[in-house]
Structures are given as C-alpha cells and as structure tokens.
Amino acid sequence: MSDVKWAPDGKSMFGKLMNAVPEAMRDMVKPQLLQLLGAKAAGKPVTSEIITRMVQEDLPEPQKSMLMQALGIEKPAEKKPAKKDVPASEGGTVKLSMEDNWEGNSQSMFDRMINEVPEALRDIFRGKLMDILKQKAKGGAYQEAHIVEIVNEIVPEPFKSNIIKAFSTIGGVDVSAVGGIIDANPGGQETLITLLHAIQSQYGYVPEEALQIVSQKRGVGMSTLYRLVTSYQAFRTEAPKKYLVSICDGTGCHVNGSGTLLKKLEEKSACTDSHITLEKVRCLGADFSRKGCSSQRTGTTVV
C-alpha cells in the first residue's frame, strides 16, 4: 500500500473491502486491487469515491454485487452495451478473436489455472489474467509457455505447485518421473543439458510438459529451455515413431555409401504412412571390420 496515496475515508473503505474478500485469497487479490486503484487515482490520494468507482466499473459479477452490498454501494445506472462489429477477412470468412487464438494446450492450461481460484473470485482473476496473457502474447497467439510464465511469476504457493502438477497431465504425457530425474541431476543452469538428455532418455524426446516442470522446479524461463532443445540437434521435441533409425553421416561411413542409404531412408520416412523417425548423426563408435559404425543404443536402429 506504500505506492498508493490514501485519503482517510479511502483507507478506511479499502480496509472494509479487504475484509469482504475471503481470507484465503486476500494476499493474491490485494495487489490487483491496488493496481486498479492506482490507475483510477492517477497519482492523487485514493478516496472512498475512487474505490466506489473501481468496484462499479472494474469488477465483474458476481463479485461486484457481493462487494457493493458489503460496502453499502448503490448499483450504478445500467448502460446499453455498444454493438460489436464482427471483423471478416476476404471472402467473408470470420476472423478469430484473440480469445480464440490459443496454441496447443494453452486454453486447457489457462482454464486449469483459473480453477485453482475459489469459485466466487474466478471472474475477477479471469479478466486480469487474460490482460496479462495478452501482454505476453504481444498480439500473437497464446502459447503454453505464456501460461507457465504467469503461474511462475504471480501465483503463490501452494497454488503454484498444484497448478504445475496438473499441467503435467493435460497433454496426455505421464511425466511423473521428471521430478526424480531433476532430483538426480542437482545443480544450476550448467546442468540443464545433462538434465534434458536424461529426460529424453526416459521418454525418447523432450516433452513440453517436462519442460514446464523443469522451469518451475529450477526457476528457469521456458524461453531458455526452448532455446536449448531447439539449438542442439541431439534433442527431439516430438515423440519418435515406432522405429527410430539413426544413420551415421561421418566421413568413414559416407565414403562407404551412407549417403545413398540416407537418401533412400529419407524417401521412406517421408511417406504419410511411415513408422520411421530418421535422424542423421555423427560417428557412434567405429568398427572398421564392418566398414561402418556400431552402437548398443537400446531401442534404436543404427546404420
């Protein structure tokens, strides 16, 4: 409250307002209300009139009516909603609104985050969290990484851990082993590569859900983790198909015809009904008696 200037009547009324909020949610709600009041006051002391206008104009139902009743605020005159124009693209196709612009499991994750809030306060938080999400999206699509960032940045414990744990089941990937992998690879950011290799070894690739857990437990931004898994060819971000074929493109194998074999396998794996995931690798351990490479990698065909 130190960033807000208070008039005596405003400070008293704000205390009554906070007493009307369920105790378990006061610490989470208070910063949002102060932000709204600061914007309303525009540098001037917050009066009871400013608080009244904030409740009437900025809070959604049913929280608005509940707080108005608790504070003895009269219901404002209703205004007719302005008619909204529906934008359309060429050919008459209706464009999606920002609320429809969700990628991957981002909408399910957002809804799961909201469900952690007590029902009486969900409308308040939905509106404010959508505003934060729009700021992060910067006019683009809402991404799963944006939701994870919001949870890590503003949601307190124990809600944060509950939400992140719930995220791990949304994508259909059982990531119950990730916590153990993280514990088995302690350290800071210098251990992230080793940790990501261990996760890929467990799942055959690095699932999005696993990155979310690493981000939460290690305090590393999702953008950093994405940069790592997309910068190194050793990491896969999609689950491999039934057969994972690794073909050596090292000098020794290349002169013995691996290029021709690689071309044929690329054509085979490109078929729509193919069950092959093809990866091009460097030498996996020379065995010159076989004029190629050999490897004992379990579950992987190496040629």
For residues 183 and 169, the answer to whether their CB atoms sit within 8 Å is no
pLDDT at 300: 45
Does the pLDDT of residue 282 top 80, yes or no?
A: no
pLDDT at 84: 44
For residues 143 and 137, the answer to whether their CB atoms sit within 8 Å is yes
Q: What is the pLDDT of residues 173-188, one digit of tens each?
A: 666 678 888 888 888 8
Predicted confidence band of residue 193 (pLDDT cuts 50, 70, 90)? very high
Contacts of 235 by beta carbon, 8 Å cutoff, 6+ apart: 196, 197, 200, 205, 206, 228, 229
For residues 216 and 148, the answer to whether their CB atoms sit within 8 Å is yes
More confident residue, 279 or 54: 54
pTM as predicted: 0.37
More confident residue, 268 or 141: 141
Task: Give burial (CB, 10 Å; 0-12/13-18/19+) of 130.
Answer: middle
pLDDT at 290: 47
Tokens 């009516």, residue located: 65
One-character DSSP codes across 115-152 = HTS-GGGHHHHHHHHHHHHHHHHTTS-B-HHHHHHHHH
Tokens 């049913």, residue located: 62
Spans of all domains in the chain: 8-71, 101-170, 178-231, 243-302
Tokens 């009307």, residue located: 20
Strands 301-302 and 243-248: parallel
Amino acid type, 159: F
CA 111 from chain centre, in angstroms, equals: 12
pLDDT at 47: 93
Task: Give burial (CB, 10 Å; 0-12/13-18/19+) of 219.
Answer: exposed
